[in-house]
Amino acid sequence: MTFPLFFASTAQFWYSLPLAVTVALVYSATRFEDLTSILRHSVRIMVWTTIFALLMFFWLRWLTAGL
C-alpha cells in the first residue's frame, strides 16, 4: 500500500482522540478528588492508552501485511 493510501485509511483514527481524553479524564476523576492529581493521572492514562492502541495497530498491520 502506498503512503497516501495508508494515511487516508488512518484519517478515521482522529475520532479516537476525544474518546481517549474523555475516558482518561472521567476515570481519573473517579480515582481522586484533587484536580491536580486528576489531571496528572489522566495524562498518564491517556499516554498509556495511546501507546497501547498504536502498538496494537502496528501489530495488526504487520499480521495482515501479506494478505
Partner 1 sequence: MSAPSENPYSTPVIPANNQLPPGTLRTPWVAALLAWLIPGAGHFYQRRWAKGSLFFFCVMGTFLYGIFLGSSRVVYASFRPYDFHPSTVCQVGVGLPTLPAFAQYFAIRAKQAPMWDGFMAPPVIIGQEVPAEWARAQMQRGKIDGDFEEGDFVPSNNPRYMLLARYSNYNRQLLTDPYFNDYYSNQLSEWHAKYDYKYELGWLFTAVAGLLNFLVVFDAYRGPALGYRYVKPHPDASGKPDEASPPRPEPTAAAP
Of 11 and 62, nearer to partner 1 (C-beta) is: 11
Q: Give yes or no for a contact between 50 and 23, defined as CB atoms under 8 angstroms apart.
A: no
Q: Does 41 bind partner 1 (CB under 8 A)?
A: yes
Range in contact with partner 1 (rule: CB under 8 A) among 2-10, 19-27, 48-56, 59-67: 19-27
The smaller minimum CB distance to partner 1, of residues 18 and 66, is found at 18
Q: Per CB under 8 A, does 31 bind partner 1?
A: yes
Closest CA to 54 of 16, 26, 21: 16
DSSP-based three-state secondary structure for 1: coil
Q: How far apart are CA 37 and CA 28, in angstroms?
A: 8
- Binding to partner 1 by residue 5, rule CB under 8 A? no
